[in-house]
């Protein structure tokens, strides 16, 4: 079962967070090969429109960095969105949701 974690995103600023993938014994999972991470955020679960969040694997450490640059966050309307991060085996046979939650986007006031 996925862990639920909420995040705040500032419109027009860099956004990132990392998660640690663990096995059933609590040890970091080796992500150096065999899996790909995917992450999206949507206004509603059933929304056809979505924003793809960059998901970078850090190999044997078990960490996944989820990020979005300032240019991309500037295009997202303020409000609350749902997101999740999933790992898929490279052959597509296994999908595991690691984390899910909400991202609250706060509007940008200063525009440089």
Whether this model's pTM surpasses 0.85: yes
Picking from 11-15, 68-72, 76-80, 88-92, which range would have the lowest pLDDT averaged per residue?
88-92
Which domains are delineated in the chain?
3-106 (2.60.40.10)
> How does pLDDT run across 1-15, given as a tens digit for each residue?
789 999 999 999 999
User: What pLDDT digit, counting tens, does each position of 27-41 carry?
Assistant: 998 888 889 999 999
Residues 24-61 as b or e (16 or more Cβ within 10 Å = b): eeeeebebeeebebebbbeeeeeeeeebebebebeeee
């Amino acid at each position: 079962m996925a862990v639920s974690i909420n995040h705040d995103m500032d419109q027009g600023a860099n956004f990132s967070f990392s998660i640690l993938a663990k096995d059933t014994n609590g040890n970091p999972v080796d992500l150096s090969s065999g899996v790909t991470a995917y992450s999206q955020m949507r206004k509603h679960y059933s929304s056809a429109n979505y924003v793809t969040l960059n998901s970078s694997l850090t190999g044997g450490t078990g960490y996944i960095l989820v990020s979005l640059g300032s240019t991309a966050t500037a295009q997202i309307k303020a409000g609350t969105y749902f997101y999740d991060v999933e790992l898929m085996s490279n052959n597509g046979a296994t999908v595991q949701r690691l984390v899910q939650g909400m991202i609250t986007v706060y509007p940008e006031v200063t525009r440089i």
